[in-house]
């Protein structure tokens, strides 16, 4: 069972503020979910091959082949601001 302190810690990590009734609700709900996972952990899956894609689709992508690249000057051609051969961007804090 999940403890109240863990609910509060999860809320702190998510940067959300929970009312007391929400903490009670989430404590029950998350405990129920964890109980279900405990039931699943009891299953013997040693002879079952892992399934990464249940519907059997393959991702079709092109081969990664090296090609000619832009020169530095071509890459910077339309840059609104540049400095020392690089893109210049506003400072972000």
Residues above pLDDT 70, as percent of the chain: 100
Has residue 40 been placed in a domain? yes
Q: 89, 81 in Cβ contact below 8 A?
A: yes
End-to-end alpha-carbon separation of the chain, Å? 41
Written as six digits, the tokens of 61 are 């992508």
Domain region containing 28: 19-44
Has residue 39 been placed in a domain? yes
Mean pLDDT for 22-28 is: 95
| Domains in the chain, number | 1
Has residue 85 been placed in a domain? no
> What are 59-84's pLDDT values in tens digits?
778 888 899 999 999 999 999 999 99
């Amino acid at each position: 069972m999940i403890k109240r302190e863990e609910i509060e810690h999860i809320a702190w990590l998510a940067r959300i503020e929970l009312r007391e009734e929400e903490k009670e609700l989430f404590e029950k709900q998350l405990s129920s979910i964890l109980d279900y996972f405990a039931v699943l952990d009891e299953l013997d899956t040693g002879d079952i091959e892992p399934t990464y894609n249940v519907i059997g689709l393959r991702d079709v992508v092109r081969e990664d082949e090296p090609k000619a690249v832009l020169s530095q000057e071509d890459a910077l051609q339309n840059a609104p601001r540049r400095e020392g051969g690089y893109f210049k961007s506003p400072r972000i804090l």
